[in-house]
Amino acid sequence: MARKAIFITGGGSGIGRAVARHFAGQGWFVGIADVNAQGVDETAALLPDGASSRHIMDVRDRDQWKAALDDFARASGGRLDVLFNNAGIGSGGQFIDMAPAEADRLIAINFGGVVNGVYMALPLLKATPGSTILNTGSASGFYGVAGLAVYSATKFAVRGLTEALEIEFAKHDIKVRSLMPGFIDTPLLDQVSADSNEPARNRLSASGFEIVPVERVAEAAWSAVHGTQVHTTVGKMAKRLARLARWFPGLIAKQSKKVDGLGAVSAH
């Protein structure tokens, strides 16, 4: 039997790269997909020889999805044990200042890309017993985040899709899971926002926010695929936000008003 296989969008950096390394380390075959060809090559170079395939694609384009998955299936022996819908962008700022075109791009990549992935990967997933769809959500999918309104909305959508498809796809022997991380230690946190000369990493640390190493997200992805929970939170902040959103949503609203502006940094 062919070794287990995972197809990762956004595999050229950050969470995608860390998950690729983790699963390859467990003997899995990894399909690395990204719009950034250099990033794909850099991730592949970190994996064992013969453990990966490379796919340059835009998750907004279903024709590119089909071509990539066809190539992946030939390389994986027809298996797709895990589809990891991870590609995403993290544009933020006040809603009133965001150009409609940028909002469209956020929605198309962060949510539309996930929907496209599910549609296009279903034949392979159904043909692989016990397969899993793993979607990268965010702690901002538990409660709307000021300064990240559209981004947050896309992660709510990913969360809702995950929960619905977990029920619908049970009859096809396909599990559907999500990762819900807080702020992750990626180069995104080194960016300087428009209203500050200080990197987001410094502002978050000064405000007491936890920054989670990307390796912990990879470990959480492994646990999510092999566990029973629909949503896997990553980091203390995400766990706390999940509890507060369920039991004390009003408290989150009060706290959010105090840190409005920090929301311009996404967790993904």
| AA identity, residue 172 | H
Q: What is the pLDDT of residues 109-138, one digit of tens each?
A: 999 999 999 999 999 999 999 999 999 998
Those residues whose C-beta lies under 8 Å from the C-beta of residue 143, and which sit 6 or more positions away, are 241, 244, 245, 249, 252, 253, 256
Please, are residues 222 and 195 in contact by the beta-carbon 8 Å criterion?
Answer: no
Q: What is the pLDDT of residues 44-65, one digit of tens each?
A: 999 999 999 999 999 999 999 9
Q: Which contacts (CB < 8 Å, 24+ apart) does range 163-169 have?
A: 163/230, 165/118, 165/133, 166/230, 169/133
Cβ burial, residue 43 (10 Å; 0-12/13-18/19+): buried
Beta strand 5-9 with 29-34 is parallel
The domains of the chain are located at 5-264
pTM: predicted TM-score of the whole model, two decimal places? 0.86
Query: Does the annotation mark 143 as catalytic?
Result: no
Q: If you classify domain 5-264 with CATH, what class do you get? A: alpha beta
pLDDT (tens digit, 9 = 90+) per residue, 185-241? Answer: 555 555 545 555 554 554 545 444 556 678 989 999 999 999 999 999 886 665 666
pLDDT in tens, 240-258: 665 555 544 554 454 554 4
Average pLDDT over residues 87-101: 91
DSSP class per residue in 249-260: HHHHHHHHHHST
For the chain, give the percent of residues with pLDDT over 70: 76
Q: Which helix (H) or strand (E) holds 34?
A: strand 29-34
DSSP state of 192: B
> Catalytic residue among 7, 23, 29, 151, which?
151
Picking from 264, 244, 262, the residue whose alpha carbon sits closest to that of residue 253 is: 244
Cα separation, 128 vs 145, whole angstroms: 38
